Amino acid sequence: MRCPYCETHEDKVIESRMLANGESIRRRRECLNCGYRFTSYEHIEEKQFMVIKRDGSRQPFDIKKIMHGILRAIEKRPISHSQVEEVLEALENEAQMKALNTHEIPSTDLGEMVLKKLYVLDKVAYVRFASVYRKFENVEEFIKEIEKLS
C-alpha cells in the first residue's frame, strides 16, 4: 500500500476491523519510512450484472432505478424508510442470486420480484406499481387487479 504522505510502499498493519456485516475490512496502517498513519478499506468486488430490457437491450443493474419506482408507488403511504431499505436489500440479493450464472436478469423478472414484495408490504403500492409496470390502459384493468386482491 502506497503511503499518501511520502509515497513509499512499505507499511505495517496496526489494526484491522470488520465493517458492514463482514463485507468489508478497515485497516489502520503505519508507514515504515515516515511513520504516517492512514486508513485503507478492503471489500469484495462483485462483477456487475446486466438487466435484459423488454426490447432486448442490456443495461447495468441499478438498484436506484428500482428504488425510484418503489418510492413513487408508496408515495403518501404509511411505509417507513427502513421498510423500503429492507425491500431494496432483499430485491438486490434475490436479483444477484438469479443472475449468478449468466450475470444477466430479465427486467420482467425484476418487475415481478418488486410486485411480490409490494404485495406483502402494501396493497395500494402494489396496485400503483402494477399499473405502471403492466401498462394499464383503462379502468377495467385496475378493477381486475384490485379484484385479484380480494
CB of 104 closer than 8 Å to CB of 56? no
Distance CA 63, CA 127 (A): 21
Model confidence, pTM: 0.67
**Structure confidence at residue 19 (pLDDT):** 82
**Structure confidence at residue 61 (pLDDT):** 93
Per-residue pLDDT of the chain (150 residues; tens, 9 = 90+): 899 999 999 999 999 998 867 778 999 999 999 999 999 988 776 778 999 999 999 999 999 999 999 999 999 999 999 999 999 989 998 998 999 889 999 999 999 999 999 999 999 999 999 999 988 888 898 888 888 887
The number of residues in the chain equals 150
SS3 113: helix
3-state DSSP helix/strand/coil % of the chain, to nearest 5? 45, 20, 30
Instruction: Parse the chain into domains and list their residue ranges.
Output: 11-43, 50-149
Distance CA 98, CA 121 (A): 22
Q: Please name which of 93, 73, 94, 95 lies closest in space to residue 84, comparing C-alpha atoms.
A: 73
**Structure confidence at residue 70 (pLDDT):** 96
SS3 106: strand
